[in-house]
Structure 1
Amino acid sequence: MRLPIAIATVVLGMAPQPAIPSPIPTPTNHGAPPSAPAPVTWGVAPSSPRGPNGRAVFAYKLDPGATLTDYVAVTNHSAHPVTLNVYASDAVTTSQGGFDLLPATQQPVDVGSWVSLTARTVTIPATSRVEVPFTVTVPANATPGDHVGGVVASLATTTTDAQGNRVAIDHRVGTRVYLRVTGELRPALALEDVRIRHRGSVNPFGGGEVTATATVRNTGNVRLAGRPAADVAGPLGLGAGTVSGVALPEILPGNAVRTTVRLSAVPPLFRLAVTTTVTPTPVDGQLLDPYPGATSRRMSVWAVPWSQLLLAVLVAGAVRAFVAIRRRRRRRAARNLEQAVAAAREQGRAEVATTAVGATAETQRVTTVGAGTGQSPDAAPAASATAPEAEA
């Protein structure tokens, strides 16, 4: 029965592999429960015929058609013998920027296929080391530039997953191989699948966030790192700003990583122009000639100030309500004043009418008294004055 194969664990150019369960069964002791499996640890390093020589990686610069012989030291740090598979493979850059090798079941087509080991399986005694020779043969038609891979020693084990299935796991420890084939170098990075997104803020007095996400691909033939950045500006250059993203790790030729640059406190100016840039940088202090230039992509994104518009609507509504209330109060005050003036006029008219009526009544009373004596009030004294003269 074939077992499902899990993704292998690869550690390249590092310390010995941490302890894992040994595939060697541990016998029971007089019916007692089996003890825990003895740990297995091993390490892989560049070597000479007499042992490791201090190199961290295999680094070569060869012409097409060249051949060389080198050694890899495989050390068993365990207290019992261990049998390991030793082979070479091509390297890849993961989408997160990690360094990995092709799965053991996948045949290499680049530098991994150029490495020939004298032995594919080695049995190493307890706490011992073996030096395994290998040959690197560069094809005559090899393309110039960097070809990256690794030499690994692996131990296959089986385990049971949560569903009870038997799973084969390939534990691998290795060291990197950097091989540069002489010829014209073309260092270059490119931006692919650039996506710009704006997210507004509920705070009308704060800016939103613009994220620029892109795939950075090494389109040249030299391994490169990089520094991403993003610029943003509104109409007429308003609200311009720039920010640098996290430095990119080593990207192997033909491989790519996904990166994101975030710009915060960006004012929502309806339409924003966002320029995403990546600047190539060398790795391991290597000199690049010619030095690659930066590459950019310019895109636009809508940044509607919804919270600001809502605030403006609320403020406009409040102002309109305030003006309406003031107008109603003024109209009410004007009506009250008109009513008071009208009431005062009516009261004045009533008082004038009352006065006129009283004067008319008095006049009528006086006229009535004069009519009873046959004389007017002014004629009576004259009659009295002339009476003595008549007697004389």
Structure 2
Amino acid sequence: MRLSIAITTAVAGAALGAVPAAAAPGPTPTPTPAPSGSVSVRPAPVTWGVTPSSRTGPNGRASFGYKLDPGATVTDYVAVTNHSTRPLTLSLYASDAVTTPQGGFDLLPGGQRPVDVGSWVRLTAPTLTIPSTSRMDVPFTLTVPENATPGDHVGGIVASLAATSADGQGNQVAVDHRVGARIYLRVTGALRPALALEDLRVDHRASGNPFAGGEVVARATIRNTGNVRLAAQPAVESAGLLGLGRRSASGAALPEILPGDAIAATVRLPGVAPLFRLTVTTTVVPSAVEGQVLDPPPAEVSEAVSVWAVPWRQLLLVALLVGVVAALLMVRRRRRRRAARDLAQAVAEARDQGRAEAAATAVGAPSGRPDGTGPPAQPDRSTPKATSEPSTPAPGAHP
């Protein structure tokens, strides 16, 4: 099984035009028995570099930079240096640059034909065999078509080496090691610096802590719809009804975006209160790269969307608190009712007992004791007794 994989080592930063030398494994020599006591040494990897040059050698330029009219032609040189201790055969070609979705700078794969500035370059030597520790200054011409669009056209000149290795499953894999120098061409004419927001998606993520705010996450594709390469600074602002809970945050600055290309960007805004309905505004401020002055200056682009941010956890917590308070009030009300019922019952019992005692006192006889505590006096129903005193006889009566 044979796979073709293109590995681009051509770029590392927006301002970098020439890339340091790359390394690739050299061919495996036929092993020979090592003398006793000797140490076997593996062959050193081959390394090479590509830089802008002149007829007499590199002149310190970091990249190929041109400003040309449509139809103009320029002749220049590229230096390819073999830093290895053995000869090296490389393929030399030009290609168009692209912006990766993550914001990196790359060139088209080796098998893909360029259609922009890479197709405008003509090299005198498509294949180079460079002696060990040597350099070759290769001339080339760049011709701008008459119908070329104004603005920036970006590409690079690449020196590549194909090698074969085995992957983890033992399959033979062809690997293309590439080193390149960038080409920045600006074709004269009207400049239109502009960025656009595409596929904007915004959502609010609730926090696990009901006392903390959630997070607003904005994702979008930022496309360069103009004809000038631009950098960008995204930002997000969130606010509730009447501007309540307004918060804002800036995302990571985006590297240069080539005309027609796009970068996927994500901006996170923490600590956003769930205020049921939020208005989230995503803004992208474009800026020129490498200190260029653009006239007219690029305008910022923004888009506002509304998202739901229902405080479910907070509502659940409030419901629990309301339930607890209601339960406490119910228990307290029941206790009050029970206490009032017990008090009324005690008062009724005391009132009934008092009435019974009063009735008993009203129908009873006077007490046989001065203090009225003795048994009631019984009426005297005995026959009156005769007195023993002598009676005085009536006159004329005999004793």
**What TM-score does the superposition give when structure 1 sets the normalisation length?**
0.91
Matched, 1:27 2:26: no
Structure 2: where are the runs of 5+ without partners?
12-16
The within-5 A match list for 1:1-392 is: 3-12=2-11, 13-22=17-26, 24-30=27-33, 36-356=42-362, 358-359=364-365, 366=377, 368-369=379-380, 371-373=381-383
Tell me the distance in 1 between the aligned counterparts of 2:243 and 2:256.
Answer: 35
Q: Report if the CA contact (8 A) 1:11-1:17 is conserved.
A: no
Tell me the distance in 2 between the aligned counterparts of 1:180 and 1:297.
Answer: 31
Tell me the distance in 2 between the aligned counterparts of 1:248 and 1:36.
Answer: 42
DSSP-derived class of the 2:52 partner: strand
Tell me the distance in 2 between the aligned counterparts of 1:55 and 1:391.
Answer: 183
Q: Report if the CA contact (8 A) 2:6-2:177 is conserved.
A: no
Tell me the distance in 2 between the aligned counterparts of 1:17 and 1:294.
Answer: 39
Q: Report if the CA contact (8 A) 1:27-1:34 is conserved.
A: no
The code of the aligned residue for 2:61 comes to R
Q: Would you say how many aligned residue pairs link Structure 1 and Structure 2? A: 381
Identity %: 63
Tell me the distance in 2 between the aligned counterparts of 1:85 and 1:389.
Answer: 184
DSSP-derived class of the 1:276 partner: strand
Q: Report if the CA contact (8 A) 2:64-2:183 is conserved.
A: yes
CA spacing shift, 1:389–1:303, aligned 2, 3 Å: farther
CA spacing shift, 1:115–1:351, aligned 2, 3 Å: same
Tell me the distance in 2 between the aligned counterparts of 1:329 and 1:261.
Answer: 57
Tell me the distance in 1 between the aligned counterparts of 2:45 and 2:208.
Answer: 56
1:361 Cα deviation after fit? 8.9
Tell me the distance in 1 between the aligned counterparts of 2:184 and 2:245.
Answer: 46
DSSP-derived class of the 1:17 partner: strand
Tell me the distance in 2 between the aligned counterparts of 1:220 and 1:322.
Answer: 67
**What TM-score does the superposition give when structure 2 sets the normalisation length?**
0.90
1:205 Cα deviation after fit? 1.5
Alpha-carbon deviations, 1:152-178, whole Å to 9, x = none?
111110111112211111000011000
Q: Report if the CA contact (8 A) 1:26-1:35 is conserved.
A: no
Tell me the distance in 2 between the aligned counterparts of 1:331 and 1:39.
Answer: 94
Between stretches 169-178 and 343-352, larger displacement belongs to 343-352
Structure 1: where are the runs of 5+ without partners?
375-379
The code of the aligned residue for 2:10 comes to V
Q: Report if the CA contact (8 A) 1:197-1:211 is conserved.
A: yes
DSSP-derived class of the 2:163 partner: strand
Note the aligned Cα RMSD (angstroms).
2.6
